[in-house]
Structure 1
Amino acid sequence: MPISIRLALLNDAATIATLSDQLGYRSQDDSIQKRLKQLLNNHDHLVLVALKDNEVTGWIHCFYNLRVESDPFVEIGGLVVDEGHRQSGIGKMLVEEILAWARKKGCEKVRVRCNVIR
């Protein structure tokens, strides 16, 4: 079955929490759900999930940054693909969706920060 990308939903919180554990961020489902609710109602944030066989296999969060000293940009705040689904193009698909969103927002740059351990 092909991989599809869609906006995250509040009922994705438990799976997002499980995947976040793979990044080393221990979070409770209810905490993720509270934050997700705020993010989904903010037009300067985008949270997407990847689905394979109707199962969430990855997620990405990005946000629009407007600064005095520089042109606006989008920053990727988090990206994870389930360990069992890596090397299958899911991460690339999620990033491509973010790049398209950034273009719609008028941003030429997308930034990402990463822990040196990763």
Structure 2
Amino acid sequence: MNISITSATLNDVIAITALTHELGYAANETKTQEWLTYILNSATHAVLIAVSGEALCGWIVVEKRISLEAGFKAEITGLVVSTQHRRAGVGNKLVQAAQVWATDLGLTRLAVHSNTTRDASHSFYQSLGFALKKTSHNYEKTI
């Protein structure tokens, strides 16, 4: 399978939304367009897509982050590959592209959070050289 990786555009909203649904999120096209517009205009984010033929088969969002305790790093904040393209190297290519993006910004660390219920993603990230650093609880409050 021939996979190319490129930057997302607003023309990809429908396909990105469909893949987001595969991940289990209920984002609609209007919200996806709003969020994608913001991310595409951000100097600290990238949205990369994997394309096979005419089909968008995966996407990844990577972000330049900073914290007072650890400094700068890149963080993958979203990754999805269509069910029919899983285990074909698409996710690997997307992560590699995110790593290149981060390296181009001078970043030396790439992090990702993975839901404890997503067992397949844990072995996937470990196979790419990611090491488990810690487990944590994620709290959120509507304000």
Q: TM-score, normalised by structure 2?
A: 0.80
- Distance in 2, matches of 1:70 and 1:106, equals 15
State whether structure 2 residue 80 is matched by structure 1 residue 65: no
Larger radius of gyration: 2
- Distance in 2, matches of 1:54 and 1:47, equals 18
2:77 corresponds to: 77
AA of the residue aligned to 2:57: T
2:96 corresponds to: 96
Q: TM-score, normalised by structure 1?
A: 0.96
Cα deviation for residue 32 of structure 1 reads 0.1
Cα deviation for residue 67 of structure 1 reads 2.2
AA of the residue aligned to 2:71: D
Percent identical among aligned pairs is 36
- Distance in 1, matches of 2:39 and 2:24, equals 21
1:4-39 deviation per Cα after TM superposition (whole angstroms, max 9, x unaligned): 011001011111111111111111111101100010
AA of the residue aligned to 1:110: L
1:105 corresponds to: 105
- Distance in 1, matches of 2:79 and 2:40, equals 16
1:54-96 deviation per Cα after TM superposition (whole angstroms, max 9, x unaligned): 2100000010012222120000000000000111100000000
Q: Structure 2 stretches of 5 or more lacking a match?
A: 119-143
AA of the residue aligned to 1:94: L
Please tell me the root mean square deviation across aligned C-alpha atoms, in Å: 1.0
Q: Secondary structure at the match of 2:31?
A: helix
1:10 corresponds to: 10
AA of the residue aligned to 1:21: H
AA of the residue aligned to 2:5: I
Q: Secondary structure at the match of 1:66?
A: strand
Q: Secondary structure at the match of 2:116?
A: coil
Count of aligned residue pairs for this structure pair: 118
Cα deviation for residue 43 of structure 1 reads 1.1
Q: Secondary structure at the match of 1:13?
A: helix
State whether structure 2 residue 21 is matched by structure 1 residue 21: yes
1:32 corresponds to: 32
**Which of 1 and 2 has higher RCO (CA within 8 Å, sep 6+)?**
1
Q: Secondary structure at the match of 2:87?
A: coil
2:116 corresponds to: 116
